[in-house]
A and B are shown apart, each in its own frame.
Chain A
Amino acid sequence: MDFLSQFDARMFSLVAESTWQTVVMVFLSTIFSMILGLPIGVLLHVTSSEEQGGIIPHPVFYNVLSRIVNILRSFPFIILMIVLMPLSRLIIGTSIGTMATVIPLSIAAAPFVARIIESSLKEVDPGVVQAAKAMGSTNWQIILKVLIPEALPSLVSGVTLTIINLIGYSAMAGAIGGGGLGDLAIRYGYQRFSPAYMVSAVVVIIVMVELIQFIGDRISAHLISKR
């Protein structure tokens, strides 16, 4: 079949459908990975040593949590997906399809989010935290009114990075029946030797990544410019 003749209406509707699936997957897993990763990141930071900026240093707790996060991060994503299939089946009722992929995506990205949050919070000037403490702030007030607002531009960059990572992960999830652009590229582009599908999927993913990066940079720059 001729390469150009593959660009037909059927292909466009398939690409559109897959793009939507990817958007849904990435959107939901970003939210869930933030919900999981944010508290872990905050916990990691506040329990780290005083020199690292921890406000409630707890070396044992920190080391255990840090180890768990590292173990989860070392799993190759494809293996983690397979390991987590039963969990998807338990929560969603199935282990294939877009919704079922959100679970392993979120869990795979959560430790990454936790580390990003931790390193963003670590950048907050320790003097500012000391001032907040000297004024009689509770630990919650320091976290919610000082650490997070002070680190916001950096946190936004972290979220941007997470979304872009998740786009990559979601494409990989296609390999085990997750749907989305990765799935399209593998099933049509690779297995059916239709390079047009492959090219379209890759182009759409590139556009998505560029767009997210652009928006993230703009928000972060805007936050910094107001300071």
Chain B
Amino acid sequence: MEIRLRNLRRNYGSLHAVDDVSLDIPSNTVYGIIGKSGAGKSTLVRLVSMLEKPDNGEVYYDDKRVDNLSKKELIEERRHIGMIFQNFNLFSSRSAADNIAYPMEICHMDKDHIRKRTEELLSLVGLEGRGKAPISTLSGGQKQRVAIARALAINPSILFCDEATSALDPQTTRAILALIKEIQKKMNLTVVMITHQMEVVRDACDRVAVLDSGHIVEEGLVSDIFSSPKSDVTKDFLSSLTNVRESIVRWSRDGGHFTLRFRGSSTDEPIISTVSSETGAVFNIRAAGVQNVNGEEMGVMITDIGPDEETALKAAALLRKMGVVIEEEKKEAE
């Protein structure tokens, strides 16, 4: 199901938690929404998932407007979406299986059907035979698996993940993300993933929107955003991922200061050597790193280019021609 947001606004007093957000979330994708805490992402997900009404603007699921539904329609519409949370939000009074059965129970489904479907879902999320387990006996990863099974019980067309992996360790996070991706393909879901972790975007999402103080500052394919980020917020998120950032770099006094971003095939070529021998530029590499984004390699390098300004600019121009994205850092007055 496609989700369209039009000029969404939500204020809390004088705070513009979500300020004029318009987004198209295509059907059948994993869509990331990333932002720091306080960027408005929790409010945004509450608006998109019909848990809260916007002060202004519209939310569409396919062509159906869902932000102004009556109470009865709202309850009906919510029964077609799934949602998982940072703290799992499972019912401690129910066993794993009974948690999964809950959304079917409230729709008054047939008991036999519920039992069969619960078994199916338990094996889908890799928890066969654990149906009777009380929630408190499960690990964090298992709890999130139960929550995923519960969210999928009613065959939703959209799955909202609100910081779903933030309470999990890195290995478990990877396993849960892999599960979500697998399920997305199997069930043709539209997955909306709210997160503050760039690695979640890198490992799971097809597209991403970057949220800052209630605004979308950048939106696009994950591989494009990773190879040529535009906004400072995005760059900051990326540098926290590779730990390659200007603030840890001690610059030299000569030449220019540059951040180079390589993508795909350009990571295989000896670009620096080529440019160096052709222009006579000298590189003093301060920090560098490589990561895998959706199967594509992305490199980032922070470097001085010398020996003088002129050569540096020549080298930069040549690098650009070779497909490297370059940003020149402004030298601070000393």
Residues of A within 8 A of B (CB): 125, 127-128, 130-138, 141, 145-146, 149-150, 152, 226-227
A150, closest chain B residue (CB):
B93
Q: Which residues from A are CB-within-8-Å of B85?
A: 127, 130-131
Q: Chain B residues near A145: list those with CB within 8 A.
A: 102, 105-106
Q: Once bound together, how far apart are the Cα atoms of A130 and B102, in whole Å?
A: 14
Question: Of all chain B residues, which has the CB nearest A128?
Answer: B89
Q: Which residue of A lies closest to B107 (CB)?
A: A136
Contact (A149, B102) CB under 8 Å given A127-B87, A136-B79 = no
A226–B103 touching, CB < 8 Å: no
| B92:A134 contact, CB within 8 angstroms | no
**Given A130-B51, A226-B134, A227-B134: A135 in contact with B102 (beta carbons within 8 A):** yes
* B78 proximal to A (CB < 8 A): yes
Contact between B93 and A227 (Cβ–Cβ < 8 Å)? yes
| Bound complex: CA A125 to CA B94 (Å) | 14
Q: 6 closest A-B pairs (Cβ-Cβ)?
A: A136-B78, A136-B79, A131-B89, A149-B93, A127-B89, A134-B83
- Kindly list chain A residues whose C-beta atoms are within 8 Å of the C-beta of B75: 136-138
Q: Is the CB of A134 within 8 A of B91?
A: no
* B91–A149 CB distance below 8 A: yes
Contacts of B134 in A (CB 8 A): 226-227
| B49 contacts chain A at the CB level, 8 A cutoff | yes
Let me know if B81 is at the binding interface, CB within 8 A.
yes
Q: Chain A residues with Cβ under 8 A from B87's Cβ?
A: 125, 127
Cα-based distance from A146 to B103 in the complex (angstroms): 12
Contact between B106 and A136 (Cβ–Cβ < 8 Å)? yes
- Asked whether, in the complex, the Cβ of B90 is within 8 Å of the Cβ of A128, the reply is yes
Which one, A136, A150, A226, contacts B91 given CB within 8 A? A150
Q: Give A27 Cβ to nearest chain B Cβ, in Å.
A: 27
* Closest CB in chain B relative to A139 CB, distance in Å: 9
Across the interface, which residues of B come within 8 angstroms of A125, CB to CB?
87, 89, 92
Q: Tell me, yes or no, whether B136 is within 8 Å of chain A by CB.
A: yes
The interface residues of chain B lying within 8 Å CB-to-CB of A128 are: 89-92
Q: Are A135 and B91 touching (Cβ within 8 A)?
A: no
Residues of B within 8 A of A150 (CB): 91-93
New A-B pairs, 6, CB < 8 Å, besides A128-B90, A135-B78, A135-B106: A125-B92, A130-B51, A136-B75, A136-B77, A136-B107, A141-B106
B76 at the interface (CB under 8 A from A): yes
Choose among B92, B103, B150 the residue that contacts A227 (Cβ–Cβ < 8 A): B92
A134 to B45, CA, bound (A): 11
